């Protein structure tokens, strides 16, 4: 049954007023390049809470398309961790590595409409010409084989509305760049597959870290180009080790502990603006239930980054940047 959102009590309304609750579909889309750390927990939790507070579905998609970056065993480890943190997903996990035919079909349709061209420019050449790609090869007619393929930017997005960050302005060179849809090494590019997947999975709300704010403009232009309805986008602050550097393996962000989910989950809720000073929970199930009942977009901080200082798997401190 479809219920109109505006008949719900205030605290249960989604950030997307007007959408029908029963059709909310959110997702968490980790890249299995390592185990989950605190930063990815924040992204998973934010998308989970937004979905569940809106009686939505919450899907998990493994973004294992970039095979050189995939670490064997990481996808299973991520799913085990989500489970032990009580973040249970709806439906089957989708693996991008199993969807090459789908991506190839969409790419072929773009090629058929002559929206795609081959580019032979090296990173060094692009840098020498000013840094961002100047659509140099658009008219060059290079052969497609063993070259990167770029999409002609016919729908540049110069600004868009983020449900948390507000109006986002995109620099002209980024908005107008013909970006890569298939890499020289033959792999489909993230920008292509993320849009194809979000559309194909019927995603209505994308909630993720603010490192993906600018790429959103490209995704929105591809939604237009493919004549798909775009989902709502909401970008929560990115957990960083120092300004500009997200928590990652490179800066030694530790994996979160499967055996002690509560401290990290409590810390992730605090990061997202929850006040836990008068509550105490001894299992993840009741903690998450409480969090879903308390969730509202007005709790969420709208910074682009928050610095995380972690002493060990139980102690986290944050400083807004
Ligand atoms: N796989 C991407 C990442 O882990 C996230 C993509 C997305 O949420 O759209 O950074
Ligand atoms: Zn080129």
Q: Which atom of ligand 1 is nearest to the CA of 40?
A: 4
Q: Is the CB of 86 under 6 A from ligand 1?
A: no
Least confident piece of the model among 15-24, 34-43, 212-221: 15-24
HSE-up (13 A, CA, CB side) for residue 244: 0
Is residue 255 situated within a structural domain? yes
Q: How many domains does the chain have?
A: 1
Report CA(167)–ligand 2 centroid distance (Å): 32
Q: Is the pLDDT of residue 269 over 60?
A: yes
> CA–CA separation, 251 vs 58, rounded Å?
30
pTM: 0.92
In a domain, 26, yes or no: yes
Q: If you measure from the C-alpha of residue 270 to the centroid of ligand 1, how many angstroms do you get, rounded to a whole number?
A: 22
Q: Ligand 1 test: best mutation among 25, 27, 28, 31, most atoms within 8 Å of CB? A: 31
| DSSP character at residue 67 | G
Please name which ligand lies nearest the alpha carbon of 203.
1
Does residue 59's CB lie within 6 angstroms of at least one atom of ligand 1? no
Tell me the CA–centroid distance for residue 101 and ligand 2, in Å: 26
Closest listed residue to residue 21, CA positions, set 220, 205, 159: 205
CA-CA distance, 175 to 172, in Å (whole number)?
A: 5
Nearest residue by C-alpha to atom 8 in ligand 1: 29
* Per-residue confidence band for 311, with pLDDT thresholds at 50, 70 and 90: confident
**pLDDT per residue over 182-194, tens digit each?**
999 999 999 999 9
For ligand 1, mutation pick of 33, 48, 194, 240 (most atoms within 8 Å of CB): 194
Determine contact, residues 256/13, Cβ cutoff 8 Å.
no
| For residues 109-127, average pLDDT | 96
CB-ligand 1 contact for 30 (6 Å cutoff): yes
CA 86 to chain centre: 20
Arithmetic mean of pLDDT, 281-307: 97
Residue 4 falls within a domain, yes or no? Answer: no
Question: CA-to-CA distance for 288 and 281, rounded, in angstroms?
Answer: 9
**Of 320, 106, 301, 304, the residue nearest 197 (C-alpha):** 106
Neighbours of 144 (CB within 10 A): 12
pLDDT interval class at 10 (50, 70, 90)? very low
Q: Which domain holds residue 259?
A: 10-320
Q: Which of 15-29, 77-91, 136-150, 236-250 has the lowest mean pLDDT?
A: 15-29
Domain membership flag for residue 283: yes
Q: How far apart are CA 48 and CA 149, in angstroms?
A: 35
| Average pLDDT over every residue of 286-302 | 97
pLDDT for 171: 95
Q: Which residues pair with 94 in a beta bridge?
A: 61
* pLDDT for the residue numbered 22: 61
**Quick check: 21 pLDDT over 70?**
no
Probe target for ligand 1 pocket from 208, 231, 235, 246, with the most ligand atoms within 8 Å of CB: 208
Beta strands in 109-157 (DSSP E): 116-119, 148-151
Mean pLDDT of 233-255: 90
The token pair at 163 is: 């449900």
Q: Is residue 74 part of a domain?
A: yes
In a domain, 3, yes or no: no
Question: What is the b/e burial string over 292-313, where b = at least 16 CB atoms within 10 angstroms of the residue's CB?
Answer: bebbbbeebebebbbbbebeeb
Q: Is ligand 1 within 6 A of the CB of residue 266? A: no
Contact yes or no for 184/150 (Cβ under 8 A) = no
138 annotated binding-site participant? no
Distance CA 207, CA 90 (A): 16
Would residue 5 count as lying in a domain? no
C-beta 208 within 6 A of ligand 1: yes
Atom index in ligand 1 nearest the CA of residue 27 equals: 8
Dihedral (Cα; 14, 17, 18, 22), 10-degree rounding: -10
Q: Please check whether residue 1 lies inside any domain of the structure.
A: no
Quote the tokens at residue 46. 């934010």
Task: CATH number of the domain at 195, please.
Answer: 3.40.50.620
**Element of type H or E holding 110:** helix 100-112
Closest CA relative to residue 180, chosen from 192, 170, 168, 166: 192
Q: Checking DSSP bridges between strand 57-62 and strand 25-28, what pairing results, if any?
A: parallel
Q: Please state, in angstroms and rounded to a whole number, the distance separating the CA atoms of residues 237 and 165.
A: 9
């Amino acid at each position: 049954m479809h219920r109109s959102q505006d008949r719900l009590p205030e605290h249960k309304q989604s950030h997307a007023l007007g959408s029908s609750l029963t059709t909310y579909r959110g997702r968490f889309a980790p890249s299995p390049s390592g185990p989950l750390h605190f930063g990815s927990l924040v992204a998973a939790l934010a998308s989970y809470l937004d979905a569940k507070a809106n009686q939505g579905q919450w899907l998990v998609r493994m973004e294992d398309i970039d095979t050189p970056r995939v670490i064997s065993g990481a996808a299973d480890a991520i799913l085990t961790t989500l489970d032990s943190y009580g973040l249970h997903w709806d439906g089957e996990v989708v693996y991008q590595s199993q969807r090459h035919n789908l991506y190839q079909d969409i790419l072929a349709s773009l090629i058929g409409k002559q929206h795609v061209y081959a580019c032979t420019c090296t990173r060094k050449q692009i840098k020498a010409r000013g840094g961002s790609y100047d659509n140099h090869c658009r008219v060059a007619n290079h052969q497609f084989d063993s070259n990167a393929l770029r999409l002609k930017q016919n729908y540049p997005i110069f600004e868009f509305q983020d449900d948390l960050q507000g109006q986002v302005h995109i620099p002209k060179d980024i908005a107008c760049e013909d970006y890569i849809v298939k890499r020289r090494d033959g792999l489909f590019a993230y920008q292509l597959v993320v849009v194809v997947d979000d559309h194909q999975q019927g995603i209505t709300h994308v909630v993720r870290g603010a490192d993906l704010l600018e790429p959103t403009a490209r995704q929105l232009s591809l939604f237009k180009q493919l004549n798909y309805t775009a989902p709502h986008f909401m970008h929560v602050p990115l957990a960083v080790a120092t300004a500009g550097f997200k928590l990652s393996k490179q800066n030694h962000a530790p994996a979160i502990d499967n055996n002690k989910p509560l401290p990290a989950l409590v810390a992730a809720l605090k990061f997202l603006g929850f006040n836990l000073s008068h509550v105490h929970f001894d299992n993840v199930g009741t903690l998450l239930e409480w969090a879903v009942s308390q969730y509202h977009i007005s709790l969420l901080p709208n910074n682009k980054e928050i610095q995380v200082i972690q002493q060990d798997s139980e102690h986290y401190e944050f400083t807004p940047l």
